[in-house]
């Protein structure tokens, strides 16, 4: 090294040089760290992508299987519906009282004398509102299906619902008060009397009434299973003479409901349950309620049908579930059906129609 180079070497700032080297080394290390971190993130991303692609493949396979399952279900459902519709078509005749292409009309009009010869030892008598019409009691159909209160007119099928009792209790009880007052001077007619006399002579006769007016019940044998529940008759829609707790405070499954005598509603419009003090309710089947063993012994009644081979259908349009299903059961088992109506409606089965008024026909038929 010559003198010139030696002088420059001595003048060189080694401290500053080392400082710069340290900074550069630090930057280098930082860059290397960032590179390693980037590589690690890339590796993790690739692993995630591999998992995602794998999941996508599995999802595609599941989707294909789901589509196959749906297609199989559609086919099975379609086959099942075809069979169901086929079975419904085959059974329609057993669930209808009207004639159609598959179920031609077989009902015949007969005289009272001819019908009398058809009676057997085991007779069921199904009574509708038409039986009480001659006693001056409305049938709840047509014009009789409306109740006028003041300037307002109500449809009975809306008033006589549990929903109406809940939301309009005073008005609902007003209807029952008016019905109770209307019954005061009403008496059983010749049709009622004929059935009662026939029951006395033929104790095995099964009587099913859709009427709530107590007309027929009042002249039948009065032996009770429990207060308001009579051995001699099944009152499937209840009886206006009785009430029960609205909360069913004494109700036990399959045990007859506890009934109480209905008070004079002109003096006590909103009677209470004598047991718990809650509001009482009329012992009738409202239009939005179902038949129960506790209120009308429905299962007990239906269990007896097999023992009866003749049914007399009196004064009913069969617009309630129990009445229509009862007749359909007798049609299905090819039992003898005698219908008494001003305009007979049962067109199928082993049916014999007597066109006319029940108060005129029953005394002759059941003498």
Catalytic residue numbers read 237
DSSP-derived secondary structure for 6-32: HHHHHHS-HHHHHHHHHHHHHHHHHHH
- CA-nearest of 314, 298, 242 to 271 is 242
Token pair belonging to 233: 């008759």
- CA-nearest of 189, 235, 182 to 212 is 235
Cβ atoms of 228 and 239 closer than 8 Å: yes
Beta strands in the chain (DSSP E): 108-109, 123-127, 146-149, 152-155, 206-209, 224-226, 229-230, 234-235, 238-245, 260-261, 280-284, 310-314, 336-341, 351-355
Task: Name the burial class of residue 324, with classes exposed (0-12), middle (13-18) and buried (19+) by CB atoms within 10 angstroms of its CB.
Answer: middle
Sign of CA dihedral 129, 133, 138, 140: positive
- Taking residue 330's Cβ as centre, other Cβ atoms within 10 Å add up to 23
Q: What backbone phi and psi angles, to 5 degrees, belong to 310? A: -140, 135
Token pair belonging to 85: 């519709």
| Site of tokens 């044998």 | 221
Whole-number Cα distances in Å, 360 to 266, 316, 317, 321:
35, 16, 19, 28
Q: Assign residue 195 a region: left if phi > 0, alpha if psi is -120 to 50, beta otherwise? A: alpha
Token pair belonging to 352: 């014999």
SS3 labels along 192-258: HHHHHHHHHHCCCCEEEECCCCCCCHHHCCCCEEECCEECCCEECCEEEEEEEECCCCCCCCCCCCC
């Amino acid at each position: 090294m010559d003198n010139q180079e030696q002088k420059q070497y001595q003048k060189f700032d080694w401290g500053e040089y080392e400082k710069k080297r340290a900074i550069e080394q630090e930057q280098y290390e930082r860059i290397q760290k960032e590179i390693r971190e980037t590589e690690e993130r890339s590796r993790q991303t690739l692993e995630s992508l591999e998992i995602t692609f794998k999941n996508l493949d599995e999802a595609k396979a599941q989707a294909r299987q789901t589509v196959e399952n749906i297609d199989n279900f559609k086919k099975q459902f379609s086959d099942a519906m075809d069979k169901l519709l086929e079975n419904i078509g085959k059974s329609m005749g057993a669930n209808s009282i009207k004639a159609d292409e598959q179920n031609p009309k077989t009902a015949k009009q007969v005289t009272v004398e001819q019908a009398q010869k058809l009676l057997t030892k085991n007779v069921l008598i199904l009574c509708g509102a038409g039986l009480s019409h001659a006693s001056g009691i409305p049938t709840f159909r047509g014009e009789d299906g409306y109740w006028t209160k003041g300037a307002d007119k109500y449809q009975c099928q809306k008033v006589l619902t549990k929903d109406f009792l809940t939301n309009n209790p005073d008005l609902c009880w007003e209807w029952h008060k008016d019905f109770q007052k209307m019954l005061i001077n009403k008496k059983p007619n010749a049709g009622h009397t004929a059935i009662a006399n026939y029951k006395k002579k033929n104790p095995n006769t099964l009587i099913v009434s859709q009427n709530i007016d107590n007309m027929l019940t009042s002249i039948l044998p009065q032996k009770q299973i429990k207060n308001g529940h009579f051995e001699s008759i099944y009152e499937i829609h209840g009886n206006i003479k009785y009430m029960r707790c609205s909360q069913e405070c004494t109700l036990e499954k399959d045990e007859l409901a506890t009934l109480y005598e209905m008070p004079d509603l002109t003096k006590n419009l909103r009677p209470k349950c004598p047991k718990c003090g809650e509001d009482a309710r009329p012992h009738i089947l409202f239009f939005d309620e179902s038949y129960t063993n506790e209120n009308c012994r429905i299962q007990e009644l239906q269990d007896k049908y097999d023992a009866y081979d003749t049914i007399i259908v009196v004064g009913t349009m069969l617009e309630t579930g129990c009445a229509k299903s009862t007749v359909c059961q007798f049609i299905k088992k090819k039992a003898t059906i005698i219908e008494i109506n001003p305009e007979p409606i049962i067109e199928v089965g082993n049916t014999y129609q007597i066109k006319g008024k029940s108060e005129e026909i029953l005394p002759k038929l059941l003498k």
